[in-house]
Structure 1
């Protein structure tokens, strides 16, 4: 059949499933065979596509594959690309039960569909997937999934890819593959029908001698006038007003209303009440609803200018009680759940490094080189507990290559490394105080806790660890005059 022949070349024809839809519907069981203008257009367009050379490239295994996919209530579509050029198209109509899927599941079904179609291209290599459904970007972070989504998620985990959001307006190719297009022939048929209806109405145009008068109400901003008057009495702006009329290259210009502007932005005089009114309107009004400091600053700097605008905005937002009560920290935690304590046996100086308990030994070695070897050189010997990573072959080989002797403490006997155990007790006390008094995440306090510990007097050495290490006292805010 013609559909069978055309379907054999479907991966070379863009939006094949939509083009063949009128012909496919004729093959449905119990449907009358009616050859209309849509079927004729579909038949002609498919013949044209089959006799036209497609603009496709051969895939290269060493280049990144990019997949664009989209779903609609009519079908699923996708495009496989490399370096901005098309490798293959894929599309299919929705099955009966799929038409009841919610939008999220339909978009996910499009991703699963293209991965199955192009498995021989994508399996075992890194690639990027783009969809115009933004919630798919957070699919792997969702905790509540239905059974269908869980089943598809198991399939997706077989591939190494990034799931990205691509706005629908930019996702033109995949969007076209999943949506039905309206042909000009259909528009022309509808146009002729409307013309016939208008002929039957026998409409007559009449002109009325009465004219219509339009009134115009002009509203001037009193706020702009008050800024203009305040600029005239501000000593700094008076000089700028005079200079702007004398030089054309100046960044300060006077507009048609007589208001001084800096690179197109209105210059606000050094008037505390005027600045407060602007900040109040841009933060607490019904059209603003308490934006953050960054958003508020970028909104204001497009319109107004004064010296210290960013500082004033930050202070205003941070002093807003409503923001302090209602807004929470949205930043994702760093994921640290342990502290790596490293103490110098001679000077008693310590380093407190935040880590995750699941870090592999290779990552610990990288931190060790960056934080310890970089600052102090290679130690002659190391005493550590019997953590599996410190007893691993990799860690032993690393210390052997660096020339450090590795000594392990006795099992179930922490007194072997009593110095480190005592340091951990002090660390726990300092950390508890910081979290109770200042709040925030515990790992953000570690740098200051390390500073405090290394600048505290130790009776065993008769000085602070900083003095023992560097031979001088550390400058602090208490001794800034020395």
Structure 2
């Protein structure tokens, strides 16, 4: 039957239908005490989603696919619908368990991919932020999301149901973008609550109590335990100051939502008072003896790593105002460190600034390491993530070296560029790299700074071995010592990247975050090298072209 779109009865019926699907009882208000269900679907030109509770709709959403998205495979489009819908309805879903219903199995397909590309890795990481189960329904039963995904938009513009039309003014404050906060909404800080002067801990308990502590002579911490009968507004009025910044830690989402609503209604107009929320609380250490014991334990546990590494390790779980100063004092007086470590700042010519790779395996440094006479390892370190490997070699033949490189490729992937010195400069190794489309960069003879990443790795590993050797209770053989040394290196926060290499390998960042991470490292590198050249009056070779300068 052909529909006449100009027919008055048709237009009237269509408009009536639109009003019905936007109103009670079809459309309901959200109940945050009940579980949410997210239904998604995708067509060849659009995405559709609906947020439901008890099979009733809270909100609809849809958008068209752009040019390159239309070229996705069917399963990629279905996966995109889930990623987009969870982002769109994030204010409802984040931090709560919910159910996704779809008529395809994109998540199983994604988990079975052995080598997902960067786009799919980003999607996977985004979905890992949420706590959900997924139910697969027949296509003919997925009528709501399917209908939304069949809408054909002109000019490829995004079309979404206007949430302002679906809720009254009193409820609209509970629905806001996950990426832009309303002026009055309490913003979240990434820092732990411990560092702030005015702290408020709000939590549920069997009995209402209010405690006040003065920490480190300057910080004030109010802890309020509330019960279902507590008057939250009264407690806020009695315990919030008239001005200043107060940071709140509240592990109960429902309680914090109640706190936020009261803040918006009764306190937000006070321009002198600012409230922020922290999701991190560290263990406070107020006893000097306790912090010294913790520093000693971490220093020994991580095999005498440096000041920055131990500081970052302790800061993940504990708070102490002058932590780095205490760590520096302890390590500078460590007898084993003073005996085993050496000065790494010899006077040399000006350091050049090298490019920082923007992804894992873009540049990997290789070298042969000799921990003791007659023992050798092929070592490698990724220039971006600083993840290191050490493979035992029975000899220095090209066969042994190629087999070690193959093993590294098998477990960590193929590098784009391999940097090494002349020790690996053989015809057969070059041919192997050429066959596998791996670029080879050879450093200049007797210039260790050209392969400095792996040389610095060797220095750190040698320090680890000296620590083991100075420990009279250590009876490990060399192979076991090397294993422990390389494991300690990869599992400790690196002083340059401020992250553990093992974490960057196991949880690869999305492409844009990796680029931002690389740019930050490059800026840090430039600042450090320029500062060293200036501070140590290093010689610029271009200024002394006719003089001999020792490398």
TM-score by length of 1: 0.27
Structure richer in strand, relative to its length: 2
Larger C-alpha radius of gyration, 1 or 2?
1
TM-score by length of 2: 0.24
